[in-house]
């Protein structure tokens, strides 16, 4: 069964901490994405990557950075966590442009609380 795995389901961090959220996919997908999900706002794209070491800003990149050193792994980094970054974070992967309508495969999410 193909999978996108997020390393933590729940995290509690303190304001100012550096936070790493990890995501691994086993489908050999080129594209990987990080979204945050907030009630009434749906999913908002933070960053995405279309290849190893490549990254592009999404709609809300401020306060975040990403790392993609290997094809299967995409990390989201909160350089200095703040309470307004308390949210559900979802990782997804997909085939490249033009390779069909498979959509995204999502991980189960990491619920991050910053106190």
Partner 1 sequence: GEDVEQSLFLSVREGDSSVINCTYTDSSSTYLYWYKQEPGAGLQLLTYIFSNMDMKQDQRLTVLLNKKDKHLSLRIADTQTGDSAIYFCAETVRGNDYKLSFGAGTTVTVRA
Least distance from C-beta 101 to partner 1, angstroms? 5
Least distance from C-beta 34 to partner 1, angstroms? 13
Where would I find the H helices in 1-115? Answer: none
- From residue 61 to residue 80, what is the string marking binding to partner 1 with x (rule CB under 8 A)? --------------------
* Cβ count near 57 (within 10 Å): 14
User: What is the C-alpha radius of gyration for the chain, rounded to an integer number of angstroms?
Assistant: 13
83 binds partner 1 (CB under 8 A): no
Residue 2 or 115 with smaller CB distance to partner 1: 2
44 in Cβ contact with 59 (< 8 Å): yes
């Amino acid at each position: 069964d193909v999978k996108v795995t997020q390393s933590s389901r729940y995290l509690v961090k303190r304001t100012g901490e550096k936070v790493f959220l990890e995501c691994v996919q086993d489908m050999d997908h080129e594209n990987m994405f990080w979204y945050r999900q907030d009630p009434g706002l749906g999913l908002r794209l933070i960053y995405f990557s279309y290849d190893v070491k490549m990254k592009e800003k999404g709609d809300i990149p401020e306060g975040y950075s990403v790392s993609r050193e290997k094809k299967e792994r995409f990390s989201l980094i909160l350089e200095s966590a703040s309470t307004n970054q308390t949210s559900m974070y979802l990782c997804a992967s997909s085939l490249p442009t033009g390779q069909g309508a498979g959509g995204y495969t999502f991980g189960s999410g990491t619920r991050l609380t910053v106190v």
